[in-house]
Amino acid sequence: MPKLTGIYAKLLKLYGPQGWWPLLDVEGKNPTKTGSMKGYHPKDYSYPKTDKQRFEICIGTILAQNTSWVQVEKALQNLKKINYVDPKKILKINESNLGKAIKPAGYFNQKAKKLKRFSEFYISLKGKVPSREELLNMWGIGPETADSILLYAYKKPYFVIDAYTKRIFSRLGFFSEKAKYDEMQKFFMDNFPKDYKKYNEFHALIVEHAKRCCNKTNPLSEKCILKKACKFKNI
């Protein structure tokens, strides 16, 4: 079985630095397969640099629940057009109007409520870094969203586990398809250097590889650099 460090090195060599999390006001590039935003910033891990950017990442993780990044982009751009990428303004806007603005991201009524509750929580932090427990105690925020907020908005070393990670690494035999979130996260955090920059990059590379080569039902095995160790390919 290949080591995580080896897989990371192969993916990084193939795709290059990904520059996550993309931001609306950053003039960067887009190294990814999907999306149109040019706000990726490869090799620059200093972002977020402002409170506004940090908040944008936080609400982006909530908008990303159960939808594609392309749809999240549209919702964020709508918020930018009306100048509402701001927690105080989100609290002031009518919930129905907020829902209309973020409609492209789906589940817009629920997500409007989540954004309002999160905005209130964000303001209450007064610049303090939230704990994982505080985030998980909030309605509408599960482990993946909480860890995304901590990793990408606050530069804390929490490895994010998503459907792409579970798909790729269960097929490689690292854990079962039925493995729980905490079990998978512990595996990564125990077996890969605990560095927020590497966690950031590895997660982004996993997402990119899954989109390009490791589809849910029809993986493009001939293009996959990990195919030798893939159990799914050999079924």
Digit-coded pLDDT (tens) for 138-194: 999 999 999 999 999 999 999 999 999 999 999 999 999 899 999 999 999 999 999
List the domains of the chain with CATH numbers: 1-25+159-235 (1.10.1670.10), 46-154 (1.10.340.30)
State mean pLDDT over 199-207. 97
What pLDDT is stored for residue 222 in this prediction? 74
User: What DSSP assignment string belongs to the chain?
Assistant: ---HHHHHHHHHHHH----PSP-TT---B--SSS-----B-TT-TT---SHHHHHHHHHHHHHTTTS-HHHHHHHHHHHHHTT--SHHHHHHS-HHHHHHHTGGGS-HHHHHHHHHHHHHHHHHHTTPPPPHHHHHTSTT--HHHHHHIIIIIT--------HHHHHHHHHTTSS-TT--HHHHHHHHHHHS---HHHHHHHHHHHHHHHHHH--SSS--GGG-TTGGG-TTTT-
As a whole number, the mean pLDDT across the chain is 94
Residue 19 pLDDT exceeds 80: yes
Report residue 215's pLDDT band, with 50, 70 and 90 as the boundaries.
confident
Digit-coded pLDDT (tens) for 42-59: 999 999 999 999 999 999
